[in-house]
Amino acid sequence: MGADDSEINVEEVGRVLIEPLVGRDKTGAFIERNFASVRTLAAVDEGKVKPVRPRLGDYSHLAFLNVITNSFLPISPLFVRNLYRLGKVVGYFCAHQVLPFYLSDLVLPLAKKTNLSLMTLKDKSIQDLLAEGWLEAGGGILSFDRVDNKEGKIVVSIKETASSPIHNVSNPQCYFEAGVISGHLEYLVGGTWDGIETKCIAKGDDRCVIELFRDGGSVIHQMPAVSHKEAEAVLDQYLDIALSGRKYMGRDHVNDYGHMYMTQAINYVLLSQSPPHRVLVKHAGKVVGGKIAQRMNFGSAANALNHLSRLFEDLKVGFLDVNYKPEKINVSVDESLFSYGVEDIGMKLCIYLAGILEGCLNNATGKKWAVEEETCIADGDETCSLSCVTQRV
């Protein structure tokens, strides 16, 4: 067993900045080879391939993705900078996978070789293509307000973003989205791009506005670290949506489901950073699990696991099958959002789920539990399973 929460300062781990450029192409190629979800990212809507997950399909509710990303902020508010950098990585990967299906073989190479890329982005058909992809991914209604080739600056607006249901905050909330668009540009245009959100629906604005700059790396230092109080409030709001019956994201024209590739890419990139990052990811899951139990007042392990089973199915996270034994509880996870369709890469990828179960069981029973990944498809096993045992205090 590796290091646990008591041995590692998870707040400090959350402060360590992910470098989005170093090894990005190598990581992208690795994911492309080993993650089946990549192959349905562009083709599933056109019926070219069958979904990776036969029963749940390849989309999960975006409330859960936002619960995941925002669960790191109460632990380490400076993690906003990593949310942005994770967005850059995912945005670059997604553009690499999707755009070649829609753009001619000549557009991207020509643009990069002749430095006409920003002029290319002034083309309405290219803008419409990117907006269509953004809408389909559940990102919101994207429009280009300004494309300035001379200044190397692009300004975009997004309506009905994932921050639409969030309120009573003082800071912009679309760190991840700003990173995604920056990653798109780095693939499409080339070079280094960085963006910062200047208006946000969560703050009461009518739309989110992101300003993007060529070679604008300094903007990341303008991103304020949210307070612990605000981080908790935002996580609670997303969690309330996930636990509600309707799961309404405050949007009327945008799909509330996102492709599983986004969650899998974020999870893999985080877990592959270092062993302490595995502790951080599990701890974030424990935070969420504890909050779920506090809201629901389960009173027993059985009630907690039954509720989580229904919740995960509703959110399209996976199917839980619970087996109670005298000495422990075994939980198998079928069609796991984190690992299903991944080849044997020698890693267990469901540690966030283990954290949710551990935090939920701790709070529901008043006992201290240890939930560990026993098997995982991504580690060469036939199934994903978790073991839950009580610990002696």
Amino acid at 280: L
> Residue 109 and residue 106: Cα distance in Å, rounded?
6
Confidence band, pLDDT 50/70/90 cuts, at residue 107? low
275-390 matches 17-269 in CATH topology: yes
pLDDT value at position 207?
97
Confidence grade of residue 116 (pLDDT, cut at 50, 70, 90): very low
Q: What is the pLDDT of residue 44?
A: 44
Reply yes or no on whether the pLDDT at 108 is more than 60: no
Mean of the pLDDT values across residues 51-70? 96
Across the range 346-358, mean pLDDT stands at 98
Place of tokens 């509720």: 307
pLDDT tens digits for 292-301? Answer: 999 999 999 9
CA 117 vs. chain centroid, Å, equals 28
Please tell me the pTM assigned to this model. 0.93
- Say whether pLDDT at 2 is over 50: no
- Looking at domain 17-269, does it have CATH number 3.40.50.150? no
On the question of pLDDT at 5 being above 80, the answer is no
Looking at per-residue pLDDT, the higher value among 150 and 173 belongs to 173
Cα–Cα dist 293/302, whole Å: 12
The sheet carrying 384-390 orders its strands as: 319-324, 329-334, 384-390, 369-375
- Cα–Cα distance, 278 to 376 (Å, whole number): 15
Q: Could you read off the pLDDT of 240-280 as tens digits, one per residue?
A: 999 999 999 999 999 999 999 999 999 999 999 999 999 99
pLDDT tens string 275-332? 999 999 999 999 999 999 999 999 999 999 999 999 999 999 999 999 999 889 999 9
Q: Spell out a b/e string for 241-267, using b for 16 or more CB atoms within 10 Å of the CB, else e.
A: bbbeeebebbbeebebbbbbbbbbbbb
In the chain, domain spans? 17-269, 275-390
- Calculate mean pLDDT across residues 344-350: 98
Residue 391 — pLDDT band, cuts 50, 70, 90? confident
In the chain, the percentage of residues whose pLDDT exceeds 90 is: 68
Phi, psi of 9 (to 5 degrees): -80, 100
Distances (CA, A) of 232 to 187, 229, 322: 34, 5, 30
CATH class belonging to 275-390: alpha beta
